[in-house]
Amino acid sequence: MPTKKPSGIAAVAEEAGVSVSTVSQVLGGNRPVSAQTRTRVEAAIDKLDYRPHPGARSLRSHRTESVALIVPDITNPFYPLVAAGMQDVLLPAGYLLSVNDAALPSANIGEVLRHVLARRVDGIALGTYGLSEADLARIADSGTRVVALGRDVEIAGSDYVESDDESGFAKVVEHLLSTGRRRIAFIGGEENAHPNVLRLRGYRSTLSAAGHATAADDAVFTAFTREGGREGVDALFARNGGWDAVVCANDLIAIGAIERLRELGRSVPGDVAVTGYDDIDAAALISPSLTTVENPAREIGRTAARLLLTRFAETDEGAATQHITLSNRLVIRGSTAPTPQER
Amino acid sequence: MPTKKPSGIAAVAEEAGVSVSTVSQVLGGNRPVSAQTRTRVEAAIDKLDYRPHPGARSLRSHRTESVALIVPDITNPFYPLVAAGMQDVLLPAGYLLSVNDAALPSANIGEVLRHVLARRVDGIALGTYGLSEADLARIADSGTRVVALGRDVEIAGSDYVESDDESGFAKVVEHLLSTGRRRIAFIGGEENAHPNVLRLRGYRSTLSAAGHATAADDAVFTAFTREGGREGVDALFARNGGWDAVVCANDLIAIGAIERLRELGRSVPGDVAVTGYDDIDAAALISPSLTTVENPAREIGRTAARLLLTRFAETDEGAATQHITLSNRLVIRGSTAPTPQER
DNA sequence: TTGAAAGCGCTACCAG
DNA sequence: CTGGTAGCGCTTTCAA
Q: How confident is the model at residue A166 (pLDDT cuts 50, 70, 90)?
A: very high
Q: How confident is the model at residue A318 (pLDDT cuts 50, 70, 90)?
A: low
Burial class (CB in 10 A: 0-12, 13-18, 19+), A315: exposed
pLDDT digits (tens, 9 = 90+) for B71-82: 999 999 999 999
Instruction: Report the amino acid identity of residue B24.
Output: S
B121: phi > 0 → left, psi -120 to 50 → alpha, else beta; which? beta
pLDDT digits (tens, 9 = 90+) for A193-224: 888 999 999 999 999 998 887 777 799 999 99
pLDDT at residue A68 tops 50: yes
> Looking at residue A4, what is its pLDDT?
57
> Looking at residue B4, what is its pLDDT?
57
pLDDT at residue A229 tops 50: yes
For residue A29, how many other CB atoms are within 10 A of its CB? 12
Q: How far is B89 from chain A (nearest CA, A)?
A: 9
User: What is the DSSP secondary-structure string of B145-195?
Assistant: EEEEESS--SSTT-EEEEE-HHHHHHHHHHHHHHTT---EEEEESSTTSHH
What value does the mean pLDDT take over residues A118-124? 95
Nucleotide nearest A29, from its CA to each C1': D11
A contact test, residue of B50, B70, B115, B306 with most A CBs within 10 A: B115
pLDDT digits (tens, 9 = 90+) for A87-105: 999 999 999 999 999 987 7
Name the average pLDDT for chain A: 90
Q: How far is B34 from chain A (nearest CA, A)?
A: 26
User: What element of type H or E holds A185?
Assistant: strand A184-188
For residue A124, how many other CB atoms are within 10 A of its CB? 26
What share of chain B has pLDDT > 70, as a percent? 95
Query: Nearest residue to D3, CA vs C1'?
Result: B19
User: What element of type H or E holds B141?
Assistant: helix B133-142
Interface contact A93, partner B, CB < 8 A: no
Q: How confident is the model at residue A337 (pLDDT cuts 50, 70, 90)?
A: very high
Interface contact B138, partner A, CB < 8 A: yes
Identify which of B118, B154, B117, B116 has the alpha carbon closest to the alpha carbon of residue B136: B154
pLDDT at residue B60 tops 50: yes
> Looking at residue A2, what is its pLDDT?
46
What value does the mean pLDDT take over residues B253-272? 94
What value does the mean pLDDT take over residues A147-170? 86
> Looking at residue B256, what is its pLDDT?
94
pLDDT at residue A342 tops 50: no
Find out whether A139 and A108 touch, Cβ atoms under 8 Å: no
Residues of B in contact with A111 (CB under 8 A): 91
pLDDT digits (tens, 9 = 90+) for A236-261: 999 877 899 999 999 999 999 999 99
Query: Which one-letter DSSP state was computed for residue B49?
Result: T
d(CA A274, CA B208): 48
What value does the mean pLDDT take over residues B249-277? 95
d(CA A330, CA A165): 11
The CA distances from residue B280 to B246, B290, B295, in Å, are 18, 10, 8
pLDDT digits (tens, 9 = 90+) for B95-139: 999 999 998 776 788 999 999 999 999 999 999 877 888 888 889
Taking CB atoms and an 8 Å limit, are A111 and B91 in contact across chains? Answer: yes
Taking CB atoms and an 8 Å limit, are A87 and B100 in contact across chains? Answer: yes
Q: How confident is the model at residue A277 (pLDDT cuts 50, 70, 90)?
A: very high
Q: How confident is the model at residue B61 (pLDDT cuts 50, 70, 90)?
A: confident
Identify which of B293, B330, B278 has the alpha carbon closest to the alpha carbon of residue B80: B278
* Residue B166, CB-side half-sphere exposure with 13 Å CA sphere: 9
Q: How confident is the model at residue B342 (pLDDT cuts 50, 70, 90)?
A: very low
> Looking at residue A106, what is its pLDDT?
66
Beta strands in chain B (DSSP E): 66-71, 96-101, 123-126, 145-149, 159-163, 184-188, 219-221, 245-248, 273-275, 292-294, 323-326, 329-331
Query: Nearest residue to D5, CA vs C1'?
Result: B21
pTM of the model: 0.89
A138-146: long-range contacts, CB 8 A cutoff, minimum separation 24: A138/A113, A138/A114, A138/B49, A139/A113, A142/A117, A144/A117, A144/A120, A145/A308, A145/A311, A145/A312
C1’ D16 / CA B25, Å: 44
What value does the mean pLDDT take over residues A251-273? 94
Residues 6 or more apart in contact with residue A122 via CB below 8 angstroms: A63, A64, A65, A66, A67, A95, A144, A145, A308, A312
> Looking at residue A217, what is its pLDDT?
77
Interface contact A317, partner B, CB < 8 A: no
pLDDT at residue A1 tops 50: no
Q: Which of residues 237-296 of A touch B (CB under 8 A)?
A: 255, 281-282, 285-287
Name the average pLDDT for chain B: 89
Which phi and psi angles does A21 have, rounded to 5°? -55, -45
Interface contact B108, partner A, CB < 8 A: no
